[in-house]
C-alpha cells in the first residue's frame, strides 16, 4: 500500500489516491459500526423512539465512541502514517478528514437525543454520554493535527455542554416532581412513603456521578437559576412547618451540593404535609420518624452524598429525627404516665380507693387502646424499632412497677383486685415488644 501510494502521488494521481483511500477507510469504519450493532439513525427517527429502544441505542453509541477513542482513532492514524510515510502532510489531512466525518456522525446522534422530551429516567444515560464524550477529547487531540484537533474538540465540548445542560434541567425538575406529588391517601401504618424511596434512591444513584454533576452544575449556573423554581426569596434557609427544624446551607457549598440539599428539604416539606393526613398526632411523628430515618440511612450509606452535604448538615438532620422521637413519646406515653402519678391519691392522709381504682382502670383502658392501635403501625427499620421499644419500656415499665408496688396492697384485700390490676410489669414489657410490627395482635394472656 505504501508503494502504491508513493507511485500514485509521484505520478500526479494524488487526488485519486486520496479519494480511494478515504472511501476505503470510511467503508471500514461503517463495517466497524455494524459489528457493534450501531445503525445511523436520523434525527426524526430518534425523536419518534420510545425510551427503552432509545436507551439501547445510546448504550450502543457509547460503545462506538469508546471504541473510537481507544482503538479506531489511534489505529487509523498509525495506518495512515504508514501508508503515506513518504508524504506526512497528506497523512495528516486524510486522517483529519476521516476523524471529522466520524465525529460529526457521532455528534449528530448525541444532539438528536438531547432534543427528545426530558424525563427523570434519562438523566443517567445523559451523564454516561457526557462522560463518554469527555473521554473522546484526548484521543482526538493526540491523533489530529493541531488545527483540526482544536476544531473537533471544540465541537465535542459543545455537544457535551448541550447534554450537560439537559442533565441539569432534568435534575432540577426533580423539585417539581416532589411539589407535584400531592396524593391525599396516607401510607398505612405510617410507613416509608414511596416518594421518599424514589427520591432518595434517585439521589443516591445520581451521586455516583458526583464529579460529573459537580462539573456540569458549576458550568451551568444560569440554567440552575432558571430551571429551579424553588429559589423563592434567595434565602439559604428553609424552615419546616414543624418549627423546630431549620436547615442552613453553607455559602461554600457547590451548586450541585446546594441543589441536592434543596431537593431533600423539599422532600421534607412534602412529608410534613403528608403527615397531616394522619388524624393521630402520634402516628404523624411515627411517619416522619420512619421517613426521616430512611433519608438519613441513604445519606450515610452514600459517601458521595455525605461528602457533598457535610457532617454538620447531616447532624442537624439527625437532631430533627430525634425530635420526632421525643414528640412521639410525649404525645403517646406522656398521657398514659399521668395515670401513674402518686399525687392526688390521698384524702386526709389516706389512700382513697375510688380514685386509685379509677387510675388503674384508666391506665388499663389507655394502654389497651395504645397497644391495639400501635401494633398495626409500621417501623420497618429494625434499629429504629428497637430504639422506640427500649425508650418506651424505659419510661413506662419502671413507672408502672413503682405505682403497682406502692398501691396494689390497697386493692389485693378486695375481691375485685384482678379487675383493676390487669397487668404485671413483665406483661407491660412483653406487650411493648409487640408494638410497630404492622400487624394487629391480641393483648395475649397476662402473667399471674
Are 168 and 223 in contact, with CB atoms under 8 Å apart?
Answer: yes
Domain pair 2-173 / 339-432, same fold: yes
Over range 323-350, report the average pLDDT.
Answer: 89
Interior angle at CA 207, CA 307 and CA 135, nearest 5 = 110
How confident is the model at residue 249, as a pLDDT? 52
* Residue partners of 154: CB distance under 8 A and separation at least 6: none
pLDDT tens digits for 262-297? 999 999 999 999 999 999 999 999 999 999 999 999
Q: In the CATH hierarchy, which fold is given to the domain comprising 339-432?
A: Monooxygenase (1.20.1280)
Cell 450509606, located at residue: 301
How confident is the model at residue 410, as a pLDDT? 82
pLDDT tens digits for 58-69? 999 999 999 999
How many Å apart are CA 46 and CA 116, to the nearest integer?
A: 8
Residue scoring higher pLDDT (121 or 416): 121
Three-state DSSP class for 146? Answer: helix
pLDDT tens digits for 189-244? 999 999 999 999 999 999 999 999 999 999 987 666 666 544 444 444 444 444 44
How confident is the model at residue 230, as a pLDDT? 43
How many Å apart are CA 139 and CA 122, to the nearest integer?
A: 27
Q: In the CATH hierarchy, which fold is given to the domain comprising 2-173?
A: Monooxygenase (1.20.1280)
Which has the minimum average pLDDT: 37-51, 325-339, 369-383?
37-51
Share of the chain above pLDDT 70, in %: 90
Task: Say what the pTM is.
Answer: 0.84
Task: Decide if pLDDT at 251 tops 60.
Answer: no
* Domain residue extents for the chain: 2-173, 191-231+251-327, 339-432
Q: How far is CA 272 from the centre of its chain?
A: 18
Task: Decide if pLDDT at 446 tops 50.
Answer: no
How many Å apart are CA 61 and CA 109, to the nearest integer?
A: 8
How many Å apart are CA 231 and CA 238, to the nearest integer?
A: 10
Task: Decide if pLDDT at 399 tops 80.
Answer: yes
Amino acid at each position: 500500500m505504501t508503494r502504491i501510494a508513493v507511485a500514485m502521488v509521484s505520478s500526479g494521481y494524488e487526488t485519486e489516491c486520496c479519494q480511494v483511500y478515504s472511501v476505503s477507510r470510511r467503508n471500514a469504519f461503517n463495517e466497524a459500526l455494524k459489528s457493534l450493532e450501531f445503525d445511523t439513525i436520523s434525527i426524526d427517527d430518534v425523536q419518534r423512539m420510545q425510551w427503552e429502544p432509545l436507551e439501547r441505542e445510546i448504550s450502543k453509541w457509547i460503545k462506538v465512541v469508546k471504541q473510537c477513542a481507544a482503538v479506531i482513532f489511534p489505529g487509523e492514524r498509525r495506518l495512515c502514517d504508514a501508508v503515506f510515510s513518504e508524504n506526512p502532510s497528506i497523512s495528516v489531512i486524510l486522517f483529519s478528514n476521516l476523524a471529522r466525518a466520524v465525529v460529526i456522525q457521532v455528534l449528530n446522534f448525541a444532539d438528536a437525543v438531547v432534543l427528545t422530551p426530558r424525563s427523570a429516567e434519562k438523566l443517567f444515560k445523559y451523564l454516561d454520554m457526557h462522560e463518554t464524550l469527555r473521554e473522546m477529547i484526548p484521543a482526538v487531540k493526540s491523533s489530529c493535527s493541531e488545527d483540526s484537533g482544536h476544531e473537533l474538540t471544540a465541537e465535542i465540548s459543545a455537544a457535551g455542554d448541550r447534554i450537560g445542560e439537559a442533565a441539569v434541567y432534568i435534575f432540577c425538575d426533580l423539585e417539581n416532581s416532589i411539589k407535584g406529588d400531592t396524593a391525599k391517601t396516607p401510607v398505612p401504618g405510617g410507613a416509608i412513603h414511596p416518594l421518599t424511596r424514589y427520591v432518595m434512591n434517585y439521589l443516591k444513584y445520581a451521586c455516583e456521578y458526583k464529579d460529573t454533576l459537580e462539573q456540569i452544575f458549576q458550568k451551568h449556573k444560569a440554567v440552575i437559576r432558571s430551571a429551579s423554581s424553588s429559589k423563592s426569596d434567595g434565602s439559604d434557609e428553609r424552615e419546616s412547618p414543624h418549627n423546630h427544624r431549620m436547615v442552613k446551607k453553607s455559602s461554600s457549598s457547590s451548586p450541585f451540593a446546594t441543589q441536592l440539599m434543596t431537593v431533600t428539604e423539599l422532600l421534607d416539606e412534602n412529608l410534613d404535609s403528608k403527615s397531616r393526613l394522619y388524624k393521630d398526632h402520634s402516628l404523624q411523628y411515627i411517619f416522619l420518624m420512619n421517613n426521616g430515618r430512611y433519608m438519613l440511612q441513604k445519606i450515610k450509606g452514600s459517601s458521595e452524598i455525605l461528602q457533598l452535604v457535610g457532617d454538620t448538615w447531616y447532624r442537624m438532620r439527625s437532631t430533627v429525627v430525634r425530635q420526632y422521637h421525643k414528640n412521639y413519646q410525649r404525645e403517646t406515653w406522656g398521657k398514659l404516665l399521668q395515670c401513674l402519678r402518686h399525687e392526688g391519691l390521698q384524702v386526709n392522709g389516706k389512700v382513697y380507693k375510688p380514685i386509685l381504682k379509677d387510675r388503674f382502670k384508666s391506665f388499663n383502658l389507655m394502654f389497651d387502646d395504645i397497644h391495639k392501635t400501635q401494633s398495626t403501625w409500621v417501623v420497618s427499620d429494625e434499629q429504629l424499632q428497637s430504639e422506640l421499644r427500649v425508650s418506651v419500656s424505659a419510661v413506662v415499665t419502671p413507672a408502672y412497677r413503682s405505682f403497682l408496688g406502692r398501691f396494689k396492697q390497697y386493692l389485693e384485700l378486695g375481691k375485685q383486685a384482678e379487675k383493676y390490676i390487669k397487668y404485671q410489669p413483665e406483661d407491660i414489657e412483653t406487650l411493648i415488644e409487640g408494638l410497630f410490627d404492622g400487624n394487629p395482635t391480641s393483648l395475649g394472656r397476662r402473667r399471674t
